[in-house]
């Protein structure tokens, strides 16, 4: 199985550390970035399989980041994370093509399920763990 690279963009150090603690042991390679501007810079140099993006951040918010990503890198899937799971926030993310939405704080299972579902595009594989069933 190829190593999947995930870019996590969140201004909250606790969220970044939680993502690292949950996803790295599952074999994912992570880049943990605290600002939208730094995230854009790293995306110019590296390709990612998935973006996990917080909505509310200082300087630039996650929605403006997603809009820029959709213009420059339209094929990169993203999941929106927010501590403010209000209808408008979810609607903004979905309007821009988010593959999913995670309310913060999230459990390890919620994060893993969303990441796996997005990367496989398949709900069934999201529950299998690393074993896989051998069919697609």
pLDDT of residue 59: 86
Q: What is the CA radius of gyration of the chain?
A: 14
- The mean pLDDT value of the chain amounts to 87
| pTM given for the model | 0.86
Residue 136 belongs to a domain: no
Q: Does pLDDT of 25 surpass 90?
A: yes
Residue 60 lies in a domain: yes
Q: Give the 3-state secondary structure of the chain.
A: CCCCEEEEECCCHHHHHHHHHHHHHHCCEEEEECCHHHHHHHHHHCCCCEEEEECCCCCCCHHHHHHHHHHHCCCCCEEEEECCCCHHHHHHHHHCCCCEEEECCCCHHHHHHHHHHHHHCCCCHHHCCCCCCCCC
Taking phi over 0 as left and psi of -120 to 50 as alpha, with beta for the rest, 53 belongs to beta
Does residue 132 belong to any structural domain of this protein? no
What's the structural domain count of the chain?
Answer: 1
* Domain boundaries, position 54: 5-122
Q: Has residue 127 been placed in a domain? A: no
Asked whether residue 129 is assigned to any structural domain, the reply reads no
Average pLDDT, stretch 25-52?
Answer: 97
pLDDT of residue 121: 80
Which residues 6+ apart lie within 8 Å of 120 measured at CB?
126
Least Cα distance to 28 among 51, 60, 59 occurs for 51
Which pLDDT does position 87 carry in this prediction? 82
Q: Which of 35-49, 88-102, 107-121 has the lowest mean pLDDT?
A: 88-102
Does 132 have pLDDT greater than 50? no
Residue 70: CATH number of its domain: 3.40.50.2300
Kindly state whether residue 10 falls inside one of the protein's structural domains. yes
């Amino acid at each position: 199985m190829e190593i999947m690279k995930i870019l996590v963009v969140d201004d909250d150090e606790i969220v970044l550390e939680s993502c690292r603690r949950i996803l790295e042991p599952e074999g994912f390679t992570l880049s943990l970035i605290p600002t939208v501007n730094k995230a854009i810079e790293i995306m110019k140099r590296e390709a990612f399989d998935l973006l996990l993006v917080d909505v509310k951040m200082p300087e630039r918010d996650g929605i403006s980041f997603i809009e820029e990503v959709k213009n420059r890198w339209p094929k990169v899937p993203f999941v929106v994370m927010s501590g403010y799971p209000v209808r408008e926030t979810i609607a903004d993310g979905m309007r821009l093509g988010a593959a999913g939405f995670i309310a913060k704080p999230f459990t390890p299972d919620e994060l893993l399920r969303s990441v796996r579902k997005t990367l496989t595009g398949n709900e069934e594989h999201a529950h299998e763990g690393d074993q896989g069933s051998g069919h697609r």
